[in-house]
């Protein structure tokens, strides 16, 4: 995917639903504020929202695969995005899907919610791939690769193990499902300062990000349990979207 310069305008209604309804988009900073208010003022827990994200991500993977339990490889980082990917791995494992987990760092260095998600998986006997294992084999063997490396928290070009995994994913993965934002993509501007995951499908969380307006991937939006009143408090236009199901298809209005 070629690099892009510049900053797309932050349109409040940059996306639409299948029925033509307007859907707000937020910048990375706005999404950080949504997350902060959700936790500090509304009392939602990070693990609570992450559980909703991971369950919906697993449902999207299953929708892409069809009915049979094909192999899935999850690429996971250390932040909330990685935690959502690890939660997805658990939901797939619970339904009989063969799951391989590849971390972008030593497992002992995970912290917070991502560490908590990995602890649950390991208690169930699902352990991340050893650092010495062949990542290429795991990527090539997977029917779906789930990208949960970075998300909207990108700061500069991906480096180190995360950057290497993005490159390997683009070379060797078949179908890719990205959580919230393809790793390496600037969630606000849509710029690509370094390698970026090429995803067939993106599952955005809560609200789509402004930087996704020019992406060619299929875009879906998932409910993570944030009340409409929270968006209103922050001045964000929001109409309840998830009456028929927990995730919906979106289209960009930017052409």
* Angstrom distance (rounded) from CA 94 to CA 102: 18
For the segment 122-153, what is each residue's pLDDT rounded down to a tens digit? 999 999 999 888 999 999 999 999 999 999 99
Q: Which residues contact 199 (CB under 8 A, 6 or more apart)?
A: 147, 176, 177, 178, 182, 217
Domains annotated for the chain, with CATH where assigned, are 15-252 (3.40.50.10260)
Q: Is the pLDDT of residue 71 over 80?
A: yes
For the segment 25-69, what is each residue's pLDDT rounded down to a tens digit? 999 999 999 999 999 999 999 999 999 999 999 999 999 998 788
For the segment 81-128, what is each residue's pLDDT rounded down to a tens digit? 999 999 999 999 999 999 999 999 999 999 999 999 999 999 999 999
The sheet carrying 175-179 orders its strands as 22-23, 15-17, 247-252, 218-222, 201-205, 175-179, 144-148, 72-76, 99-103
Q: C-alpha distances in angstroms, 174 versus 136, 184, 247, 252? A: 12, 18, 23, 25
Q: Is the pLDDT of residue 2 over 80?
A: no
Q: What integer pLDDT is reported at residue 215 of this predicted model?
A: 86
Q: Is the pLDDT of residue 188 over 90?
A: yes
Taking only Cα atoms into account, the Rg of the chain, rounded to an integer number of angstroms, comes to 17
* Angstrom distance (rounded) from CA 176 to CA 1: 14
**DSSP class of residue 128?**
P
Here the tokens at position 167 are 């490159």
* Angstrom distance (rounded) from CA 236 to CA 179: 22
């Amino acid at each position: 995917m070629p690099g892009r310069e510049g900053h797309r305008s932050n349109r409040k209604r940059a996306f639409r639903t299948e029925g033509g309804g307007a859907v707000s988009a937020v910048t990375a900073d706005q999404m950080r504020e949504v997350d902060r208010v959700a936790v500090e003022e509304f009392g939602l827990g990070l693990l609570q929202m992450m559980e909703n994200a991971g369950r919906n991500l697993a449902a999207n993977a299953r929708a892409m695969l069809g009915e049979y339990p094909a192999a899935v490889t999850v690429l996971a980082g250390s932040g909330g995005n990685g935690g959502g990917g690890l939660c997805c791995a658990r939901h797939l494992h619970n339904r009989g899907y063969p799951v391989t987990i590849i971390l972008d760092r030593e497992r002992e260095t995970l912290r917070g919610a991502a560490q908590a998600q990995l602890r649950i998986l390991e208690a169930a006997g699902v352990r991340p791939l050893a650092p010495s294992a062949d990542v290429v084999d795991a990527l090539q063997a997977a029917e779906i690769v789930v990208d949960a490396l970075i998300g909207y928290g990108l700061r500069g070009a991906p480096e180190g193990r995360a950057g290497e995994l993005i490159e390997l994913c683009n070379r060797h993965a078949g179908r890719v499902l990205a959580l919230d934002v393809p790793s390496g993509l600037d969630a606000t501007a849509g710029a690509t300062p370094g390698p970026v995951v090429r995803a067939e499908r993106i599952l955005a969380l809560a609200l789509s990000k402004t930087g996704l307006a020019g992406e060619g991937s299929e875009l879906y939006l998932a409910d993570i349990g944030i009340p409409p009143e929270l968006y209103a408090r922050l001045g964000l236009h929001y109409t309840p979207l998830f009456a028929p199901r927990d995730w919906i298809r979106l289209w960009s209005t930017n052409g």
